[in-house]
Amino acid sequence: MKKVGIKIVMTLLVMVVVACNSKSKTSEKKKVEKEVISEKKQSNNDLLVCDLLTEKYIKSIFSDATNFKQTSMEKPYPSCSYRFVTNNTNHKFGITMVKKYASEKNFTKSMSYIKSEKTPLEGIGEIAYYIPSMGQVSLFNGDYIIHIYATKEEKGNKDMAIKITKDILGKL
């Protein structure tokens, strides 16, 4: 009877070890797959927008920034956004970049859909506007159509949106 009990305990122990080991291998496999995907994007010269707008960059502007929440998407267009807090003030920064359909014609067409006020900006890209209602700079620079927004307590922050835009254009 003792031998049967020992065999049952040993069998259960082996099952637990095998199960834990397979979960570890599965998570390692997923990690490796993510790294391969990331390397493919970089080797194909695809721009990773979250490499342009980073938490580190934001902290270089706001050293007291906390409570970061990052969101990113690849479709329909690559985008990256952050929510964070400074001195009990909520901020949102974000970027969307379009390369495949980037042309002056498509940029002009996309701007025609925005019915709110647009202020032309000089010295930023080939064509650029600040859209106060969105706290957003939208521009065409020859290679990309780029939209960058910066809000503070849900209101546009024009100076910050322009600063971020110039900094990001400097990285391209």
Residue 60: in which H helix or E strand, if any?
helix 55-61
Strands (E) across 60-167 are located at 66-73, 79-86, 89-98, 119-120, 127-131, 136-140, 145-152, 155-156
Among 114, 136, 138, which Cα is nearest to 124's?
A: 138
Predicted pLDDT at 172: 83
Per-residue pLDDT, 27: 52
User: In terms of domains, do 146 and 62 share one?
Assistant: yes
Cα distance between residue 67 and residue 146, in whole Å: 26
> What six digits make up the tokens of 164?
């971020």
pTM of structure: 0.70
Q: What is the CATH number of the domain that holds 145?
A: 3.40.1000
Q: Determine the structural domain holding residue 131 and report its residue range.
A: 49-171
Give the whole-angstrom CA distance, residue 117 versus residue 59.
Answer: 31
162 touches 118 (CB < 8 A): no
Q: What is the DSSP letter of 93?
A: E
* Residues 40 and 125 occupy one common structural domain: no
Instruction: State whether 61 and 39 are in the same domain.
Output: no
Do 12 and 58 fall within a single domain? no
Nearest to 147 by CA among 171, 117, 125: 125
Please give the tally of structural domains in the chain: 2
**Cα Rg of the chain (Å, integer):** 24
Q: What is the pLDDT of residues 67-122, one digit of tens each?
A: 999 998 888 889 999 999 999 999 999 999 988 888 999 999 999 999 999 999 99
Q: Say if CB 93 and CB 102 are below 8 A apart.
A: no
What phi and psi, each to the nearest 5 degrees, are found at residue 145? -105, 125
Taking residues 139-165, report their average pLDDT: 91
Please state, in angstroms and rounded to a whole number, the distance separating the CA atoms of residues 136 and 110.
14
**Tens digit of pLDDT for each residue in 127-136?**
999 999 999 9
Q: SS3 of 110, please?
A: helix
